Amino acid sequence: MKLDKLLKNLDYRGEIDLSIDVEKISYDSRKIDKNSCFIAFCGIKTDGHNYIKDVIEKKPKLIIVDNDEYMNEYEFIIKVENSRKALSKISSNFYGNPSSEINVIGVTGTNGKTSTCLITKKIMDSMGQKCAYLGTLGFILNENVSSTGYTTPESLELQSILKLIKDSGTQHSAIEVSSHSLVQERVSSTDFDVAVFTNLSQDHLDYHKTMKEYFNAKAKLFRNLNNNSTSVINTDDFYGRTLFEESKSQRISFGKKNKSDIQLKKIEQSISKTQIEMIIMGKNFEFETNLVGEYNVYNIMASIGSLISLDFKIEDILDSLSKQTLNIPGRMELVCKKNNKYFFIDYAHTPDAFKQIFSNIKKVKSKDDILCVFGCGGDRDATKRARMASIAEQYCKKVYVTTDNPRSENIQQIFSDILNGFQTNNYHLIEDRKKAIETAIDSMDDNSVLLVLGKGRENYQIINESQFYFSDSDTIKDIVYES
């Protein structure tokens, strides 16, 4: 691609021959060759500008920086205000602006992103309207699953994926949009037709520092929408109401409040299904789903709002929803049942997610004992750890504290932070996660529920710089079926 097209709508300083042809783009200095464009930006751990001398030796067609210090280092170099934002723009240009040719639904919020995206995808698929998914569980296109390593990939990879979706003939995509990706401009050149806000509660404060900064990160998705796009917002949430009031796009609200466009009126739950009564755009509807928990009803409302935004009929949406079994991997997933013992895994790793899961299980299994196994990730927000312990103690007969991707942080420090949240000694500290799960299962009586929380379908543990295979689901099955 010639530079006049690659750099279209990009503000930059520096003289460059726009007829130069570039064959590939990279922000990884190791992948650069003489036909490449290299974009240097400052990451969390390393700064790409530090590798410019190595890149120059490979004589690339163009180097893009956002630091004046390097402007005289090479003949073919330009400066932009923000390299990450520039990467997003030129990546979109390089791949032909694919998001402008497909329907893109972006879902953001602390909890519910994965479930909302997958519910939306499965409803569309069942109606013969193929929908791709991109998020925590990877990239799903035509039932083929690929790992991406991030909830929302870097903009270069994101635009490549969007082009794959477009080229496959798939007209719809549901994408999880993380707060990190918004701050780092990964989606700034993605054309979103629908933006969904699920909720906001404490998480990632190791990165954002304050709830205000965390909210402003999420709000970027909605503040950048054009007038033809639609915001679908949970207005039961304090931050959601703020977003709804300031939104300049078209808007759909959902929640329990009387003025919501999609209003939850009544739910009746069991361990295996939920009956729902809603008012949707002024009309009353009743339907049933196999998903359990009020939080999942909110995810369903978010999905309904997204589909209405894309002109799907309400009756068709609900008909599809009622006819299929929705299984969300690692989200309140029933791994197995033995006699009257239930074994669930869930990705829950925030105080709000803990409260939602425990309170809903208590509603549908009020006479059963609840046990849980959980840990807290290392090198992440430490301030939520004690709160999670406090909530677990409130609802559970027994709590087993263990490891959950401690990374480079001292495991004993993580445990200390967690234990500060307990008011009693009704917990067990077992560092080995497999042993913790095994001990919890061995201690279960009839009519009990075990929740193994934090990892969902993750199949690894990260300890220091090493990654080891570990699956909560496989571990539970091995122990239960061997006993």
Q: How much is the pLDDT for 144?
A: 92
368 & 270 share domain: no
Question: Which CATH number is 74's domain given?
Answer: 3.40.1390.10
Structural domain for 7, as ranges: 3-83+90-94
Quick one: pLDDT at residue 147?
A: 87
How would residue 455 be classed by pLDDT, with cut points 50, 70 and 90? Answer: very high
pLDDT at 207 over 80: no
**Which H/E stretch holds residue 231?**
strand 230-234
Q: Is residue 61 part of a domain?
A: yes
What is the CB neighbour count within 10 angstroms for residue 76?
17
Last-in-domain residue among 94, 128, 148: 94
One domain, residues 237 and 374: no
pLDDT band at 367 (very low <50, low <70, confident <90, very high): confident
Mapping DSSP to helix (H, G, I), strand (E, B) and coil, where does residue 386 land? helix
pLDDT digits (tens, 9 = 90+) for 90-110: 999 999 999 999 999 999 999
The one-letter code for the residue type at 293 is: G
* Residue 296 three-state SS: helix
- Per the prediction, the chain carries an average pLDDT of 95
Beta pairing class for 172-176 and 103-108? parallel
Tokens of 51: 């590798």
- Number of Cβ atoms within 10 Å of the Cβ of 19: 8
* Same domain assignment for residues 314 and 339: no
Report the alpha-carbon distance of residue 397 to residue 216 in Å, rounded: 38
262, 281 Cβ separation under 8 angstroms: yes
Q: Is the dihedral of CA 287, 255, 224, 106 positive or negative?
A: negative
Tell me the C-alpha distance between 308 and 313, whole Å: 7
Domain finish residue from 94, 129, 156? 94
Mean of the pLDDT values across residues 269-296?
A: 93
Tokens matching residue 394:
């409130």
Q: Do residues 319 and 337 share a domain?
A: no
Are residues 303 and 225 part of one domain?
yes
| Same domain membership, residue 292 and residue 245 | yes
Asked, for residue 328, whether it belongs to a domain, the answer is no
Last residue in a domain, options 286, 304, 323: 323
Question: How many other CB atoms are found less than 10 A from the CB of residue 426?
Answer: 11
| pLDDT tens per residue across span 149-197 | 888 999 999 999 999 999 999 999 999 999 999 999 999 999 999 999 9
The verdict on 413 and 272 lying in the same domain is no
User: Can you tell me the distance from the alpha carbon of 397 to that of 362, in angstroms, rounded to the nearest whole number?
Assistant: 12
Strand partners of residue 232: 196, 252
| Whether residue 290 is found in the same domain as residue 203 | yes
Average pLDDT over residues 357-367: 90
Same domain, 424 and 344: yes
What letter does residue 330 receive in the DSSP assignment?
A: T
CATH number at residue 415: 3.90.190.20
The identity of residue 429, as a single letter, is: L
User: Rounded to whole angstroms, how far apart are CA atoms 52 and 272?
Assistant: 57
Q: What is the pTM of this model?
A: 0.90
Total domains present in the chain: 3
List the one residue out of 114, 108, 387 whose CA is nearest residue 237.
108
Count of all residues that appear for the chain in the document:
483
* Judgement on whether residues 142 and 268 belong to the same structural domain of the protein: yes
Kindly tell me if the per-residue pLDDT of 483 is higher than 90. no
